[in-house]
Amino acid sequence: MPQGPTHIDQPSPATSVLEKLLDRWSRKTLAVYWPTLALLTHWPYLKIANPDIVGPIQLDKLLHVGAFSCLALLLIFARLPSRAVSMRHHVIIGTFVAVVYSIFDELTQSFVGREVSASDILANLLGIGLVMAVVWRWRVACDEGMPGGNEGNENGTTEVSAQPVDAKSKPAKTTHNQSPLAFVDHAKLVSGLTLASRVLGLARDAVLAACFGMTAITDAFWLAFVVPNLFRRLFGEGAMTAAFIPAYTGLLRDDPAKARRLAWVSVSVLLVVLGAVTVIGEFVLTALLGSSDWSADTHLAIRLTMIMLPYMPMICGVALLGGVLQVHKRFGPPAAAPVLLNIAMIGAALLGAGLNSSGADVHNGITIVATAVLVAGLFQLAWQAVAAHRETPFTLRLSGVGTPFRKMLWTMVPMVLGLAVFQFNTLLDSLIAWVLSPKAGGNVMLSIFGWELAYPVRQGAVTGLQFAQRLYQFPLGVFGIALATAIFPALAHAAAVHHADGPASKGASNGTIGSGLDEFRTILQQGLQLTIFVGLPASVGLILVRVPLVRVIFERYEFTIEDSARVAMILAGYGAAVWAYAMTHVLTRAYYALGDSRTPLIVCTAMTAVNLVLNLTLVWWLGVAALAWSTAISSSIQAVLLLRLISRYVTTPIGTTVRQSWVRSSILTAAMTIALTPIVWAYNPLTVSRTGAAAQLLVMVVLGMGIVFVGARLMKMHELRWLTSRHAR
């Protein structure tokens, strides 16, 4: 006979008292401790007279470990983002913030004349890691049994049902009546964690720029790094995840045990297939390496590709496991996984730079960075697998999943083709920049069908594209992709509920879907409002602050002011269409949720052809910046076409509310532009010092964000309330 819910015991009084003390005083202490730590680490003349203690142990390193372990502890218990989420999330968020700041703190010490040390960064990370391990062990283990835990009921206790369930799979959570705006809360969590990851990614690229500059060496590295990332976007974050999430969402609602088997079978098949592709690729690259007399730069690019190719199946597995977690409303671990890669690459770059300064071959330094990518992939895969196992335990049972798995594969085929076209276009941009730039020991002039032409692109073009992409993808990743990631399960759920309700809700003879997809239309319209509200000011803002932004982040040591000007020119092209990139991500997921992968394929294929024609035409006049402007133009056309064509499924996707929101966002963007343009005219960011550029950047960012925020408040825009309130719904 079923019994009532059983309440899990509360924690011991000692644990409760200790937590209350930490919770009460951590914010006040953090407000004093953090600025004090920043002041001490940036004090120009603060040095330790006798740093040695015993042998290799130094007092300086112990102080770094202690100082940043205290900072991590305070950040975790301060619960800065919200008190409404579990302690597990606070541990992750606090640790990310501490890691990002520890690297930022060390790198910015060069501004006050202090030496940047890789060993100091490692000591900082060691202290933070120790705190995370201890707190995780002590507190998170009992999070589900604590008041406020993420599995608790309204009274703060966790109820364990006595009804029989599958011993190895968790019951699916009912979300049929969830608010349409629930995805905004998830988007804000993803945005926060993605922000930490992107800041760390900028620090990674800044370290690589400082250590290696914009040269053929870095061109070879980034060209090799494109290959595993291409497959990640194609299979991991792209087609397979897009096909998997709707199938898994529907199956999880109807048969959780079968959904669990589908999840792990999909992951296993992905790893096996891409593992075989990796082995074949290694054989092909080995044959290429010995089949021709390549230039030194091309030889290095092939060798680095061989090193990093095994990263491809690992990162694709990470992305698919992230899709599993997203369906279970676990957005933290997928958004946090890139931090592991960034930390590994920063440490490897600093180590490689140290070897270079000691007279070693510069190729050895960049090879160390490529090897670190491989090591990071192993840790990322383990991180995601453990998190997914906690939600849906691992299994290799295949019974009953043949039909949904085959259906998912057939859904994935046109998605793969569409994304393959788009990713081929991304690879083609890098290849064009590589082929149309001179090589060490190569020809001085470019020979095309017997015509001798000057190279339209300089060495370092691939690296310039990578750095500019990193900068425009910062706002895109923090908000645009975060929004698309969070909105996709909500759209898939709404579409699944519609199909489960039957065909009665279908519309008239025009083929549109009426009231049966009201929730779907509402979610999509809210996503479109948020896309322009954030994306349009971000596009214009990036163009205005591009020069001081590039100088502050990248310009030091091997990266010169001329390099900054080149990257800023590329960034202007990419930044013009941040709104279009974000809208394309949202609309593509809307099509996938509706089961239509053909329309995005056709549109993407057509726009890839347009992009290629623009690339090969404009590159002779604009140089490498033409590749960025071509991408922006074709992406803007793609967003408009996708938006227009989705009206076949959803009536009035751009309703009165959406149009009014877009007009108000345009007014805010215009006001921001009018305020910031005189600053750029009055102070040329290429002629001031780097410190002056940093001050100019700070003023422009604060002023621009302030204008948008205050203007949105005065116009009482719903989008601002959705983004700033604790619970958007």
Judge whether 91 lies within some domain: yes
Judge whether 489 lies within some domain: no
**Which among 344, 378, 413 is the end of a domain?**
413
Pairing of the two strands 52-54 and 451-453: unpaired
Contact 538, 473 (CB under 8 A): no
Q: How many Cα atoms sit within 13 Å of 592 on the Cβ side?
A: 34
Q: Residue 249: what pLDDT? A: 82
Residue 707: which pLDDT band, with cuts at 50, 70 and 90?
Answer: very high
pLDDT: which is higher, 139 or 438 = 438
d(CA 695, CA 227): 38
**Which among 413, 441, 466 is the end of a domain?**
413
Q: Fill in the amino acid letter for 599.
A: T
φ, ψ at 162 (rounded to 5°): -90, 0
Judge whether 694 lies within some domain: no
Residue 676: which pLDDT band, with cuts at 50, 70 and 90?
Answer: very high
Q: Residue 239: what pLDDT? A: 63
Beta bridge mates, 506: 513
Lowest mean pLDDT among 130-139, 396-405, 538-547: 130-139
Residue 84: which pLDDT band, with cuts at 50, 70 and 90?
Answer: very low
Helix (H), strand (E) at residue 447: strand 446-448
Judge whether 426 lies within some domain: no
CB atoms within 10 A of CB 96: 25
Judge whether 265 lies within some domain: yes
Average pLDDT, integer, range 32-54: 68
With a pLDDT cut of 90, the percent of the chain lying above it is 23
Judge whether 30 lies within some domain: yes
Q: Provide CB contacts within 8 A for 8, sequence distance 6+.
A: 144, 145, 157, 158, 160
Place of tokens 């730069």: 297
Indicate whether 646 pLDDT > 90: yes
Residues 123 and 221 in one domain: no
d(CA 196, CA 291): 44
CA 353 vs. chain centroid, Å, equals 26
Judge whether 394 lies within some domain: yes
φ, ψ at 359 (rounded to 5°): 100, 5
Residues 257 and 338 in one domain: yes
Average pLDDT, integer, range 183-194: 62
CA 715 vs. chain centroid, Å, equals 31
Residues 332 and 405 in one domain: yes
Q: What angle do CA 519, 723, 587 make, to 5 degrees?
A: 45
Average pLDDT, integer, range 1-25: 47
Average pLDDT, integer, range 644-672: 93
Residues composing the chain: 729
SS3 560: coil
Range of the domain at 22: 13-152
Average pLDDT, integer, range 556-574: 92
Residues 406 and 316 in one domain: yes
Residues 406 and 265 in one domain: yes
Indicate whether 35 pLDDT > 90: no
Average pLDDT, integer, range 493-512: 54
CB atoms within 10 A of CB 59: 13
Residue 420: which pLDDT band, with cuts at 50, 70 and 90?
Answer: low
pLDDT: which is higher, 211 or 18 = 211
Q: Residue 487: what pLDDT? A: 81
Average pLDDT, integer, range 200-205: 82
Residues 232 and 330 in one domain: yes
Contact 598, 251 (CB under 8 A): no
Q: Provide CB contacts within 8 A for 633, sequence distance 6+.
A: 577, 610, 611, 614
pLDDT: which is higher, 358 or 642 = 642
The sign one gets for the Cα dihedral 703, 705, 711, 713 is: negative
End-to-end CA distance of the chain: 38
Residue 58: which pLDDT band, with cuts at 50, 70 and 90?
Answer: low
Compute the mean pLDDT over every residue in the chain, rounded to the nearest whole number. 78
Residue 542: which pLDDT band, with cuts at 50, 70 and 90?
Answer: very high
CA 676 vs. chain centroid, Å, equals 28
Average pLDDT, integer, range 439-454: 70
Residues 278 and 385 in one domain: yes
Lowest mean pLDDT among 221-225, 236-240, 400-404: 236-240
Residues 279 and 393 in one domain: yes
Q: What is the residue-wise DSSP string for 103-150? A: HHHHHGGGGGTPPP-HHHHHHHHHHHHHHHHHHHHHTGGGGGGSTT-T
Average pLDDT, integer, range 32-41: 83
Q: Provide CB contacts within 8 A for 124, sequence distance 6+.
A: 64, 65, 67, 68, 102, 103, 105, 106
Indicate whether 53 pLDDT > 60: no
Residue 292: which pLDDT band, with cuts at 50, 70 and 90?
Answer: confident
Task: Indicate the pTM of the whole model.
Answer: 0.67
d(CA 382, CA 388): 10
Which residue, 471, 698, 488, is CA-closest to 593? 488
Contact 482, 335 (CB under 8 A): yes
Lowest mean pLDDT among 57-71, 158-172, 286-300, 503-517: 158-172
d(CA 278, CA 599): 31
With a pLDDT cut of 70, the percent of the chain lying above it is 73
Q: Residue 257: what pLDDT? A: 87
Judge whether 299 lies within some domain: yes
Q: Residue 15: what pLDDT? A: 45
Residues 97 and 228 in one domain: no
Average pLDDT, integer, range 440-461: 76
pLDDT: which is higher, 689 or 191 = 689
Residues 95 and 229 in one domain: no
Average pLDDT, integer, range 517-533: 89
Lowest mean pLDDT among 347-356, 389-398, 623-632: 347-356
Number of domains present in the structure of the chain? 2
What's 554's DSSP letter? H
Indicate whether 378 pLDDT > 70: yes
Indicate whether 447 pLDDT > 80: no
Residues 241 and 366 in one domain: yes
**Which among 384, 413, 442 is the end of a domain?**
413
d(CA 685, CA 568): 11
Which residue, 567, 212, 238, is CA-closest to 413? 238
Contact 511, 215 (CB under 8 A): no
Residues 223 and 138 in one domain: no
